[in-house]
Amino acid sequence: MHNATTTPIPTHTDLHIAGRPAPAADGSRFPVHDPATGAAIAEVADAGVDDALRAVDAAYEAADRWAATPPRTRSELLCKAFDLMKNQGEELAHLITAESGKALPDARAEVAYAAEFFRWYAEEAVRATGSLTTAPSGGHHILVRHQPVGVCVLVTPWNFPAAMATRKIAPALAAGCTVVLKPASDTPLTALYVATLLEEAGVPPGVVNVVPARRSGTVVSALLHDPRVRKLSFTGSTEVGRVLLREAADRVVNVSMELGGNAPFLVFADADLDAAVEGALVAKMRNAGAACTAANRFYVQAPVAEEFGRRLAARMSALTVGPGAAPGTEVGPLINAAAVDKVDRLVWAALERGAKALTGGAHSGGAGCFYPPTVLSDIRPDDPILREELFGPVAPIVAFDSEEEAVDCANSTDMGLVSYVYTGDLARGLRLGERLESGMVGVNRGLVSDPAAPFGGIKQSGIGREGGHEGLLDYLEAKYVAVDW
């Protein structure tokens, strides 16, 4: 199979269970589309409940041996996976672009980020610690050790099909857990590629299983009700996260939830405005705005609001929009027509309420799921566009007067994944680092994601952390043994 630039795309299109490709038991398959053209690029096996439970069989059978594999061996396998992903990076980037639509530079950046989770957790695999202390009463000893949780179900979104998979698989494997991954049905090919790469690295069959499924509700529900499954790690929308929290409650399954965002981006009058515009571009335009960390609400202090809007619009309008794999493309299409409709509807309604489009502002029509980079000024703090996760290349700007007002606006949603602050006053940056209600804060920085740091949200943006040492702990249970001697 070939994409627009005629780079061959390897397509593993069957389920991946116990180290082997397998069709769905009922023979179902579903098409995967290139969002730039709408053309079908592959037909992927569509797992049903029986297939998902076969994947649990494989993960359960592999679990004890994998948990008992020396941490150094697990670490070396993850190192090998890191090397393979780096070496095959170009091939993988083209595959990501083909099924997610993202511009090739974004896909290359994703591969680099995704691979780093293998390297980071290769280093963490040998650092799961415990402790032995004397009880305060002196009567016994307290031995604490960390044990792998067991079989984990991983559910990932379409927008970072490689990185969201490795951000879960790497810590799970480092901790000694085995996994069943259900990728988004828009982007299953990347997850299948990652599973094959891990086995090429030497990870034993059954440790990583992948079950693409269009009937995701039924399949994930069956997985969560299997008594051998001990954990769910989900990345996706808050809406689906809520459903899965309820499902997980039946068996009190351990959960990690990486959910939606609605990031505020604060620019104070004392900020370096050029740096703020560059940071805004990174925070807004990675993945054409379809990132959970995407800046969604721009609050700019009144004396610089107009100038910031003008400069941001100039930079946004100069970006090249096109098919992800075409030379020079900086902004690819959105994932599907529904995503374009949603953005178009939100922008249109804001314009109706009096917002001004400094650039973009209307869907150009035509083939492919493209939406133009858009900057909207004159947005009121209570405008409904600020309440929705846009998931597209649109920057609404609200002017504010005081720090207090900016903090109130920033904290005024149910989401709390990430916030950004640009200021020349480091004390203010640190102060807001505490006061902003989000799991992560970027101070004079438009990119916070780092495999070495704990990524995650508060409020309705999630539960738990991925990345950093904290990400390993999410796949370990603390076991306490009381010892007399």
Q: Which residues are designated catalytic?
A: 258
Minimum distance of ligand NAD from residue 354's CB (angstroms): 28
- By beta-carbon proximity to ligand NAD, the closer residue of 110 and 389 is 389
Minimum distance of ligand NAD from residue 216's CB (angstroms): 4
- By beta-carbon proximity to ligand NAD, the closer residue of 65 and 242 is 242
Kindly tell me the sign of the dihedral angle through the C-alpha atoms of 45, 49, 53, 54. negative
C-alpha to C-alpha distance for 90 and 70, rounded to whole angstroms: 32
Whether residue 300 contacts residue 292, with contact meaning beta carbons closer than 8 Å, is answered with no
- By beta-carbon proximity to ligand NAD, the closer residue of 84 and 290 is 290
DSSP annotation of 162 reads: T
Instruction: Give the bridge partners for 234, in sequence order.
Output: 155, 257
Q: Amino acid letter at 198? A: L
- By beta-carbon proximity to ligand NAD, the closer residue of 182 and 297 is 182
Minimum distance of ligand NAD from residue 260's CB (angstroms): 3
First and final C-alpha spacing in the chain:
66
C-alpha to C-alpha distance for 21 and 55, rounded to whole angstroms: 11
User: 476-483 and 141-148: which strand pairing?
Assistant: antiparallel
Find where tokens 């190192």 sit: 79
- By beta-carbon proximity to ligand NAD, the closer residue of 63 and 223 is 223
Find where tokens 């030379």 sit: 327
> Which residue, among 81, 104, 84, has the nearest Cα to 94 in the 3D structure?
104
Whether residue 475 contacts residue 175, with contact meaning beta carbons closer than 8 Å, is answered with yes
Whether residue 379 contacts residue 386, with contact meaning beta carbons closer than 8 Å, is answered with yes
Find where tokens 């480091």 sit: 426
C-alpha to C-alpha distance for 423 and 435, rounded to whole angstroms: 15
- By beta-carbon proximity to ligand NAD, the closer residue of 46 and 258 is 258
- By beta-carbon proximity to ligand NAD, the closer residue of 392 and 462 is 462
The residue number whose beta carbon is nearest to ligand NAD equals 236
C-alpha to C-alpha distance for 169 and 230, rounded to whole angstroms: 15
C-alpha to C-alpha distance for 237 and 232, rounded to whole angstroms: 15
The strand order across the sheet containing 141-148 reads 131-134, 141-148, 476-483
Minimum distance of ligand NAD from residue 236's CB (angstroms): 3
Minimum distance of ligand NAD from residue 247's CB (angstroms): 7
C-alpha to C-alpha distance for 310 and 307, rounded to whole angstroms: 5
DSSP annotation of 320 reads: P
Three-class secondary structure of residue 220 per DSSP: helix
Whole-number Cα distances in Å, 82 to 116, 144, 200: 7, 31, 11
User: 229-235 and 254-258: which strand pairing?
Assistant: parallel
Residues that bind ligand NAD (CB under 6 A): 155-160, 164, 182-185, 216-217, 220, 235-237, 240, 243-244, 258-261, 292, 389, 417, 457, 462
Whether residue 194 contacts residue 203, with contact meaning beta carbons closer than 8 Å, is answered with no
- By beta-carbon proximity to ligand NAD, the closer residue of 182 and 284 is 182
